């Protein structure tokens, strides 16, 4: 059965992030993606893209935070 969770397209950030269509919270808050010992942070934009999963909101990369290690 297909997931009914809302999804978004990730734009920007490291090229190594291969999953560019991800599940999001329905409230439109910023998104954190764990990646290589830290988090990549994405913010919602007013843009939308047509994808194989339908028309989805675009979240744009804006910063990285490192995990203590």
Q: Quote the pLDDT of residue 8.
A: 97
Inside any domain, residue 2:
no
Paired with 43 in beta bridges are: 60
How far apart CA 7 and CA 49 sit, in angstroms, is 11
Inside any domain, residue 5:
no
Tell me which residues of the chain have a pLDDT lower than 50: 1
Q: Quote the pLDDT of residue 26.
A: 83
Long-range pairs for 50-55: beta carbons < 8 A, 24 or more residues apart: 51/9, 51/21, 53/7, 53/21
How far apart CA 61 and CA 43 sit, in angstroms, is 6
The parent domain of residue 51 ranges over 12-28+42-64
pTM of the model: 0.87
Inside any domain, residue 1:
no
Q: Quote the pLDDT of residue 10.
A: 98
Give me the torsion for CA of 29, 4, 58, 41, rounded to 10°. Answer: 40
Q: Quote the pLDDT of residue 1.
A: 45
Q: What percent of the chain has pLDDT over 70?
A: 94
Inside any domain, residue 34:
no
Inside any domain, residue 53:
yes
Inside any domain, residue 16:
yes
């Amino acid at each position: 059965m297909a997931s009914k969770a809302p999804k978004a397209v990730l734009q920007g950030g490291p090229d190594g992030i291969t999953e560019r269509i991800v599940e999001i919270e329905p409230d439109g808050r910023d998104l954190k993606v764990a990646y290589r010992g830290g988090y990549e942070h994405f913010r919602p934009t007013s843009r939308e893209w047509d994808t194989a999963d339908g028309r989805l909101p675009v979240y744009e990369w804006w910063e990285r935070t490192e995990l203590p290690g």
